Structure 1
């Protein structure tokens, strides 16, 4: 399992619209091959900051499969205009679980 990590900085005043768009976008990513699950969490200390965690079977399921799909274009159209700056996305391989 690969864990995708992204800190999302949403433009001020756009938080409610972003959350509504993300609810809509969840069905897009959930149908992708290799998708496991995702969580979107709102930061308590920094308004407009969200943590996105997505579990994938393999790195390529995200970087090639999802990002190379027509569905990703719809995801992008729904969400990318909310970000300032654009998020850095990183992938992690679990070392320890307690």
Structure 2
């Protein structure tokens, strides 16, 4: 399993609209092969800042399966115009303790 993490800064004043649009976009990502789960967290200290966490079966499920799909183009169209600056996305794997 791979955890995708993205800090998202939404343009001021668009937070409510963004959250509603994200609810709609969630149907897109959750339909993808290799998708496991996701959550969107709102920051308490910084207005307009969110943390998106998505669990994928493999790195390629996200970087190839999702990012190279027609569904990603729709996701992008719905959400990308809300961000400033554009988010950095990183991937993590669980450390065995």
User: Aligning the two structures, in what range does the TM-score lie when normalised by the shorter sequence?
Assistant: over 0.9
Deviations for 1:21-77, whole angstroms, at most 9, x for unmatched residues? 100000000000000000100000000000000000000000000000000000000
Which residue of 2 is the match for residue 16 of structure 1?
16
- When normalised by structure 2's length, the TM-score is 0.98
RMSD, aligned α-carbons: 0.9
* Partner Cα distance (1:67, 1:35) in 2: 12
The match for 1:5 is 5
Aligned to 2:66: 66
Secondary structure at 2:36's aligned position in 1? strand
TM-score, scaled relative to structure 1 = 0.97
How far apart are the structure 1 equivalents of 2:94 and 2:18?
29
CA distance in 1: counterparts of 2:23 and 2:77, whole angstroms:
14
* Structure 1 ranges of 4+ moved more than 6 A: none
Structure 1 portions without partners, runs of 5+: none
Distance apart, 1:96 and its partner CA: 4.3
**Paired residues, number:** 97
Q: What 5-or-longer segments of structure 2 have no aligned partner?
A: none
